Structure 1
């Protein structure tokens, strides 16, 4: 089905609302702190929704479509384990709390405080390279989605030895341009407010799509088709899917380890990391964001499974024929897999919902693109140019360089997307490019925030080890691909190897150096406490009740905070126990197929209900946070010296 006037009107209305919202934020953007971290005025609901959609993004949705179309419901079981691990991180404040206590605008600024300026420059360079390469395919993946979703043609042109699709290039220019416009208008303030609007729309639209698909496809028919997969590749029973090549239980075991290891290391959302009012609000925002992710991502996981069934159901044979014809016209097998769910949805969704889905995906795309361009461009100036320069910029000069750097990231992403041939799954590309930085980053951050003996030599050793593994991965992938073969160790496993090796190097070199660091000074605790940070300092030696020690609740929690915190953690604990019990029981006494047929039905109903309730709740809370944000930005005492430099 092609988009009609109603569908295009919905998309146009969204763009108009976003431009209006971005323009409203422009008046509040005055200082570097406003541009980089919204002057640290953001509340929990605003952070939870905005950072969530910025972290999800259209490219991640498409990557999930790609993975779950191949693996089905089975992968959701292990994916839930990852979400539960994320919530444990949020509830404990692991890394997040201490990161905000440092008041660092960027991670590399924190690393200068903890290690030294040379290490800040080195790490900033690695963060920038890894991030911009990772971001390099975002415009192409997003633009290609809209090209096939809208039924636009592929028109290849030849300029010298280069061949590229002019339609794809035009879509990329439009999408990058509007993302750049929002970033320039109000910096992190505009990014955060527009991301909130986009995140809210995304939540409601995916609820509507799931409801439509449930009515469209009888449950018994869905189960029958999913049951036809070969032995060892079940799309229903997660314990009968071990032969699925890339996306199996090991993919998610490594993902869980990586979550604890690299929390706050990936700087694509770095503007949000320092934007909270205080450390406690950052912790609550992370809790809210991960609760939203638990429901939002499950909705995204479900859609490609229904798409898989629709393509194989006899009632949709005519639609399936048209879809297959369109997919076979794509010569690149990787792009065929990437676009399958998109093409199916564009053929089955009705007028209105089709436009809403397009608007939701546009929201996801813009929210990530403006956030990532803001992050990587800011990091280049704040963590490479300024430390190398050795002295402060004037305010206006620094703002000009920030915008110029962000523009440079945008231009690079356009050219890279246009010219780079993508031959792997999106999630595997993420793992490959991310390893450049993430391989050693976790050891450096966790060791720096929690271990007084963490040393400069240990930090260098960890990052260099991560780089070595990343280079080996890239070179061997290319050698095997040139021979028409698939490298036997995928990028996810090589990331795991990098984490283990880097951590070992960090610990050994730090113990050899054997020096102590003043963590109280880094975390602004004790005699170094800053009054503007309104969170009550946590005193680990205070005799708190046992239940508060277990749950991580401290003096900063109001009654309402405790109620929300305990409700969320209680529900998540129940889910976690259910998953663990289900895994143990299945290992002893394999659960019958009939159990999984019923389980996934109830899972979808529960997920849909929680998503709908959470969407309304967070929308209302976020509106209130935006009012408070603007009120605080009007009255806050702006410090023009607060520009991300470290004063020793």
Structure 2
């Protein structure tokens, strides 16, 4: 990288630092620090939550996946489109969770189940989260070392020590994330993430223009067609010819669709965003907007690995590819798959664009790091420490403790990234470490929000069973290289050969394990809850009270802006939908139907018409270029809408009266600060 490139990175850091200083002055309560006092609008949520969810590690994981599986993940995404739209229409999980007015999921678990279960689930969620986050800094730092071509070590004049570049960069990026998370909490995170998200969308557009001009579709078509002919079952464009791809085949994506539904809302890496919306309806609309915000993002993240594959496999780029391949030859294990696309980009991008992409990755890394550190640090205080306190913390004590907890998460991430050896693809590591919590939490959360009959005993059994199976799976994966030869010694010859052939990696990947664990959690929750209520004759839970509906609506968040008829309600359009909301809904519906029709047409084309490679490749070219074209307009749209939401956020914070009791505690089964809204009669059992 040249001076121009480093200047771009430095300028972005200066702008973010200035924003951090400005936003810090607005933090005046625990609710401000935890959830921006629930003042965030839909555009601000869509942009910030989106960039926090697509951090540097997710970009690298996406590069890994698309380089190996090609367009297939997008194809199975078409199948999940109607499901995702239906989830957005009904506000699946997110709407009802926002109605509870809880800051964290474990706080909801205390309201719905018990205080002891809150502490247990809080500890479990925190453990799962910090383990999952543990490799984030490692992967990000390795990217910057590959992309910027940094040496493995360096010396400083006058100091007789050799410094590890990897360790020093780890310390720098983690310190950066901690600083942004502790200075202004969720408020500062949202404002800096808005700048980062907007910057990233603009850079995505610029890079997409460069990549389309640099790699022509004819060369891409030819390269992918030759690869498919030479490697049966490993096609990167025909999703029905992927049986030879071990980890990212059809079963990976089908199980993933089910897991998205069953574990929706359970992951708390961005828990501050779940609580920050100014109403449940705004949270729902942010989900609709997310479909449009990510168009150019996913078009580019798909196109770059395809271009990289073309670069490494087309004779047209053989000489340049050989240079990069020699560098890859010096790496080992998972480093190769993680470094392949970054090294490709560092080779083809000119000065200026190199700096823009480095700044994009820095922004993506920082947006995820500060969000995750804030979430896991907050969860430890809110759900592990606070339930044991009889006397509430003062505002200063509470915020100080939250900041110290965030620092601890950073310290843990530093040592975990330094010492842990990764053996699987990033996305598979995410699944199994996440399953420590989500394996049982999916059933406990969905059952708690939607079922009156779910019991505390059912929640305990589901959570213990899910976490136990996930931890056992992780231990088995780590011990497998040493365990497989031992098992082979005591197994029949055929079984021994099978074990030794798979000694490097556990034969069942993490997606399959997470899928089985989640199904086990759901089955145990509902079976045990049914038996428990039959045996003890417990009354059904009062969901209206928990969700603040009807006479329990203490904040007046359920606004009726039109009278929705029966037909509209069938489509999920409630009285809260404005005219623009309805327009956005139908636009999202048409977009989803477009790709659902494409899925049906492609399926018929393959099985009935016998589509040739050219048919598939034209479909994918149309998908990428359409996303790119629409992305230009949506980037401008979200820039304007997000800026307006930022102004409204500051205006609301200046005028809103803080409630010091609104700190995440639960008093007599209600969130602290809501006791005065207790109804005269108790409709328990409604």
* Native 8 Å contact 2:561 2:578 kept in 1: no
Q: Which residue of 1 aligns with 2:542?
A: 518
User: C-alpha offsets along residues 285-325 of structure 1, whole Å, 9 cap, x if unaligned?
Assistant: 12112332355223212211111111223333332122111
**Map 1:239-278 → 2, pairs under 5 A:** 239-278=240-279
Is 1:62 matched up with 2:86? no
Name which of 479, 487, 504 aligns with 1:485.
504
| Distance apart, 1:89 and its partner CA | 1.6
Is 1:625 matched up with 2:645? yes
Is 1:592 matched up with 2:632? no
Q: Which residue of 2 aligns with 1:399?
A: 399
| Distance apart, 1:348 and its partner CA | 0.3
Q: Which residue of 2 aligns with 1:43?
A: 41
SS at match of 1:241: coil
Q: Distance in 2 between matches of 1:110 and 1:568?
A: 31
Q: Distance in 1 between matches of 2:371 and 2:351?
A: 31
Deviates more, 1:423-432 or 1:41-50: 423-432
Q: Distance in 2 between matches of 1:646 and 1:564?
A: 37
| Distance apart, 1:79 and its partner CA | 3.5
Q: Which residue of 1 aligns with 2:435?
A: 435
Deviates more, 1:430-439 or 1:202-211: 202-211
Name which of 657, 677, 681 aligns with 1:637.
657
**Map 1:141-152 → 2, pairs under 5 A:** 141-152=139-150
Q: Distance in 2 between matches of 1:633 and 1:522?
A: 26
SS at match of 1:232: coil
* Native 8 Å contact 2:561 2:577 kept in 1: no
Name which of 574, 584, 590 aligns with 1:554.
574
- TM (norm. structure 1) is 0.95
SS at match of 2:506: coil
CA RMSD of aligned residues (A): 1.8
Is 1:363 matched up with 2:334? no
Q: Distance in 2 between matches of 1:167 and 1:86?
A: 42
Q: Distance in 1 between matches of 2:180 and 2:514?
A: 34
Q: Which residue of 1 aligns with 2:169?
A: 171
- TM (norm. structure 2) is 0.90
Q: Which residue of 1 aligns with 2:192?
A: 194
| Distance apart, 1:575 and its partner CA | 1.8
* Native 8 Å contact 1:47 1:276 kept in 2: yes
Structure 1 segments unaligned to the other structure (5+ residues): 158-163
Q: Distance in 2 between matches of 1:70 and 1:624?
A: 41
SS at match of 2:577: coil
User: C-alpha offsets along residues 61-99 of structure 1, whole Å, 9 cap, x if unaligned?
Assistant: 000111111111233212344455433322221111111
**Map 1:407-556 → 2, pairs under 5 A:** 407-482=407-482, 483=484, 484-514=503-533, 515=538, 516-536=540-560, 544-556=564-576
| Distance apart, 1:545 and its partner CA | 3.0
| Distance apart, 1:537 and its partner CA | 11
Q: Which residue of 1 aligns with 2:602?
A: 582
Q: Which residue of 2 aligns with 1:224?
A: 222
Q: Distance in 1 between matches of 2:55 and 2:84?
A: 18
User: C-alpha offsets along residues 398-423 of structure 1, whole Å, 9 cap, x if unaligned?
Assistant: 11110000000001001100011111
Deviates more, 1:593-602 or 1:635-644: 593-602
**Map 1:100-115 → 2, pairs under 5 A:** 100-115=98-113
Q: Distance in 2 between matches of 1:580 and 1:454?
A: 38
Tell me how many residue pairs correspond in the alignment: 635
| Distance apart, 1:577 and its partner CA | 2.9
* Native 8 Å contact 2:295 2:630 kept in 1: no
Q: Distance in 2 between matches of 1:40 and 1:637?
A: 12
User: C-alpha offsets along residues 537-556 of structure 1, whole Å, 9 cap, x if unaligned?
Assistant: 99xxxx95343123211110
Deviates more, 1:137-146 or 1:573-582: 573-582
Q: Distance in 1 between matches of 2:116 and 2:145?
A: 45
| Distance apart, 1:585 and its partner CA | 4.4
Q: 1:593 to 1:207 in 2, by over 3 A?
A: same
**Map 1:79-90 → 2, pairs under 5 A:** 79-82=77-80, 85-90=83-88
| Distance apart, 1:242 and its partner CA | 2.0
Deviates more, 1:70-79 or 1:225-234: 70-79
* Native 8 Å contact 1:205 1:356 kept in 2: yes
* Native 8 Å contact 1:18 1:197 kept in 2: yes
Is 1:302 matched up with 2:300? no
User: C-alpha offsets along residues 202-251 of structure 1, whole Å, 9 cap, x if unaligned?
Assistant: 11212222221111122111111112220110011111112211001211
